[in-house]
Amino acid sequence: MEKRQVRNNIRKLRFMNNEMTQEQLAEKVGVTRQTIIALEGGKYAPSLELAFRIALAFGVSLTEVFSYEVDDEQK
């Protein structure tokens, strides 16, 4: 079965940006810390607007933060 998932590099980017905390990122993009935790854990796919805000917070392009992957698990 095909499994589609939005993956992200938020954790890595936070680390590369002076070890920015989840709280700091949440404040920058206007969401709760719980949402950042859910995003990093891959449990929640953000809206396009939030995705752009996160990319802007890190000063990188959208594709550097998010990627869309299709895992073909058909056996």
Partner 1 sequence: MSYQEKNVTVALVSHLLILIYYLFNLLPIIQSGEWIASKLYALWLVVIGTTILVTIIGSILTNIILSIFEAIRSQKYEDPRFITDERDHLIELKGIRIEYITYSIGVLLSIFVFIFGQPPLMMISLIFVFGILAEITGDIAKITLYRRGL
User: Which range of residues in 5-13, 32-40, 57-65, 66-74 is near partner 1 by CB under 8 A?
Assistant: 32-40
Instruction: Return the structure tokens found at 11.
Output: 């954790």
Please report, for residues 1, 27, 36, the alpha-carbon distance to residue 33 in angstroms, rounded to integers and kept in the order given.
33, 8, 5
Q: In this structure, are residues 54 and 46 in contact, taking their beta carbons and an 8 Å threshold?
A: yes
Residue 50 touches partner 1, criterion: CB under 8 A: yes
Residue 74 CB, shortest distance to partner 1, in Å, is 26
For 24-27, which contacts have Cβ atoms below 8 Å and span 24 or more sequence positions?
25/54, 25/57
| 43 lines the binding site for partner 1 (CB under 8 A) | yes
Among 5, 21, 34, 61, indicate the residue that binds partner 1 (CB under 8 A).
34
Q: Which residues bind partner 1 (CB under 8 A)?
A: 30-35, 37-38, 41, 43-44, 46-47, 50
